[in-house]
Amino acid sequence: MSEPLVWLTVFILAIFVGNEVIAKVSSTLHTPLMSGANAIHGVILLGAVLVAGSADTTPVLVVALLAVVLASINMVGGFVVTDRMLQMFSGRRRIAKVDQRPGLPGGDTRELPR
């Protein structure tokens, strides 16, 4: 069996395994799963940088640099999304309410009761 066919087979099997793993995770575990995926993307970024550093030909260098860019975008985006999701579970801040009754110059600012 030729080497490209082996790599294509591994790639297709990885797609199916990844799809099955993600589909079986409950929704409460998505945030920790995303955090783990972000850590894995850090490893992928490191591997892409190593490949780019040892590239001998221009096509390999271009693909490696593309991998660096995509891994960086995916890793940073994953951390941003995880941060936003964690903020959804944190406590809400108190919002000041402006009293608009006539006769009060500029309004009165009070905090809303919980």
pLDDT tens by residue, 3-14 = 999 999 999 999
Give the predicted TM-score (pTM) of the model. 0.54
* pLDDT-flagged residues of the chain (< 50): none
In angstroms, rounded to a whole number, what is the distance separating the alpha carbons of residues 25 and 69? 28
Q: What is the pLDDT of residue 102?
A: 63
User: For 89-107, b where at least 16 C-beta lie within 10 A, e where not — what string?
Assistant: eeeeeeeeeeeeeeeeeee
